[in-house]
């Protein structure tokens, strides 16, 4: 099921980067963005995931993020997340970069996850930046527009919307790791959103072998050295086992 070429490339590699997207959390029951039944089957991105939309209709946007935050808090990491956590231990340098805001990688035991698009757990004031207390979620749930207790401005989720810069430190670290990586796996992402989608391409230009794991070819598929079609929760544990076996065979 897993390509021998990928196993060999990963077996030989010391520096690996994995980029994940919403597809890896689909098997935890969280909706993706662009798949049928994804978030944007119901809403247009421009109505929700940008600052202008938020200022025009804060109740809608706060309510949508609050509902997603609740879904995230009751979701559990799945075998795909866990396999990446275990894969990390097989390489000298393993960089896990995610576009996801759900923190399921961290909850499955991955440390040092680079979050490109922030996280949905925290909300903060758009003006003074103060972290919102837990009480704002009850306000939002009751249909009120939640505002900062210090300056009275709106509170927003700590995510990156369209037109906003990604956190500089996170993007720089991901970019540097991409230029060093010998193998890149792009998992469960449509490859449509930049600059995240540049990472596998940057790595390829620097000589990396790049592969994707997706239930259908992504927008980056034609650039990939290898496309593995299937669920992340099936393919990643199989890849982990195959690599462990190969390493064990080497030692005997
Ligand atoms: C499975 C599966 C299973 C399902 N197993 N697989 C260069 C070119 C063109 C445009 C731009 C560019 N550079 C910048 C831009 C503009 C813009 C952009 O990219 N636009 C394009 C869409 C056209 N980018 C930005 O604005 C970014 N900022 C920026 O560049 O700042 C500099 C700047 C400032 C000012 C002006 C110009 C530049 C910011 C992007 C922020 C993205 N934010 C969101 C929302 C986050 C908050 C939230 O969660 O609501 O991030 S958008 C949304 O898309 C979210 C995701 O992280 C992101 C990527 O989505 P993802 O993860 O790929 O999900 P899907 O649903 O698209 O795909 C799921 C995949 O999984 C599918 O392929 C399935 O097949 C697969 N799948 N089940 C494996 N079980
Ligand atoms: Zn404030």
pLDDT score, position 4: 94
Which protein residue's CA is at the shortest distance from atom 47 of ligand 1? 159
For the chain, the structural domain boundaries read: 1-30+77-117+167-252, 31-74+118-159
Asked which of 74-78, 199-203, 212-216, 245-249 is least confident by mean pLDDT, the reply is: 245-249
Which protein residue's CA is at the shortest distance from atom 43 of ligand 1? 161
pLDDT score, position 247: 87
How far is the CA of 214 from the CAs of 27, 75, 95, 218, in angstroms? Answer: 12, 21, 19, 7
pLDDT score, position 54: 96
Point out the ligand 1 atom lying closest to the alpha carbon of residue 191.
63
Point out the ligand 1 atom lying closest to the alpha carbon of residue 157.
47
Percentage above 90 pLDDT, the chain: 91
What is the rounded average pLDDT for all residues in the chain? Answer: 96
Confidence of residue 39 (pLDDT cuts 50, 70, 90): confident
Nearest-ligand number for the alpha carbon of 194: 1
Residues having CB closer than 6 A to ligand 1 are 21-23, 26-27, 32-35, 38, 49, 99, 101, 117, 159-166, 188-190, 192-195, 213-216, 218, 231-232
Point out the ligand 1 atom lying closest to the alpha carbon of residue 100.
57
CATH code 3.30.1600.10 for 31-74+118-159: yes
**Range 183-206 average pLDDT:** 98
183 CA from centroid of ligand 1 (Å): 22
pLDDT tens for each residue of 103-143: 999 999 999 999 999 999 999 999 999 999 999 999 999 99
Integer Cα distance of 50 and 162 in angstroms: 5
pLDDT score, position 85: 98
- The residue written with tokens 């994707």 in the block is 212
How far is the CA of 70 from the CAs of 122, 223, 237, in angstroms? Answer: 12, 36, 28
Residue 69, classed as helix, strand or coil, is helix
Instruction: Provide CB contacts within 8 A for 76, sequence distance 6+.
Output: 28, 104, 107
Which protein residue's CA is at the shortest distance from atom 15 of ligand 1? 194
Point out the ligand 1 atom lying closest to the alpha carbon of residue 194.
19
pLDDT at 47 over 80: no
How far is the CA of 59 from the CAs of 67, 104, 128, 155, 163, in angstroms? Answer: 12, 26, 20, 11, 21
**Range 165-173 average pLDDT:** 98
For the chain, the 3-state helix, strand and coil shares in percent, each to the nearest 5, are 45, 20, 40
pLDDT at 232 over 80: yes
21 CA from centroid of ligand 1 (Å): 8
Residues, CB-to-ion distance under 5 Å, ligand 2: 125, 127-128, 130, 148, 150-151, 153
Confidence of residue 43 (pLDDT cuts 50, 70, 90): confident
Which protein residue's CA is at the shortest distance from atom 68 of ligand 1? 190
1-30+77-117+167-252 CATH, one of 3.30.429.10, 3.90.1490.10, 1.20.1260.10, 3.40.50.1220: 3.40.50.1220
Nearest-ligand number for the alpha carbon of 154: 2
pLDDT tens for each residue of 196-219: 999 999 999 999 999 999 999 999
Integer Cα distance of 198 and 247 in angstroms: 31
Instruction: Provide CB contacts within 8 A for 234, sequence distance 6+.
Output: 79
Q: What is the dihedral of CA 246, 185, 3, 29, to 10 degrees?
A: 100
């Amino acid at each position: 099921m897993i390509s021998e070429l990928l196993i060999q490339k990963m077996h030989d590699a010391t520096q690996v980067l994995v980029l994940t997207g919403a597809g890896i959390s689909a098997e935890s029951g969280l909706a993706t963005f662009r798949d049928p039944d994804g978030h944007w089957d119901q809403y247009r991105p421009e109505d929700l995931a940008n600052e202008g939309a938020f200022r025009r209709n804060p109740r809608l946007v706060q309510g949508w993020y609050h509902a997603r935050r609740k879904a995230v808090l009751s979701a559990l990491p799945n075998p795909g997340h866990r396999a990446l956590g275990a894969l990390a231990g097989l390489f000298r340098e393993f960089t896990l970069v995610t576009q996801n805001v759900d923190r399921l990688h961290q909850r499955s035991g991955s440390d040092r996850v680079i979050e490109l698009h922030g996280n949905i757990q925290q909300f903060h004031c758009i003006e003074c930046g103060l972290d919102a207390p837990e009480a704002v979620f009850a306000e939002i749930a009751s249909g009120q527009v939640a505002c900062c207790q210090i300056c009275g401005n709106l509170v927003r989720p700590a995510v990156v919307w369209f037109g906003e810069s990604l956190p500089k430190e996170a993007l720089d670290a991901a970019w540097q790791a991409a230029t060093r990586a010998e193998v890149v796996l792009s998992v469960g992402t449509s490859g449509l959103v930049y600059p995240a989608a540049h990472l596998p391409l940057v790595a390829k230009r620097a000589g990396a072998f790049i592969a994707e794991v997706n239930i259908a070819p992504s927008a980056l598929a034609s650039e990939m050295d290898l496309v593995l079609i299937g669920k992340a929760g099936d393919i990643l544990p199989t890849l982990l086992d195959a690599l462990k076996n190969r390493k064990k065979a080497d030692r005997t």
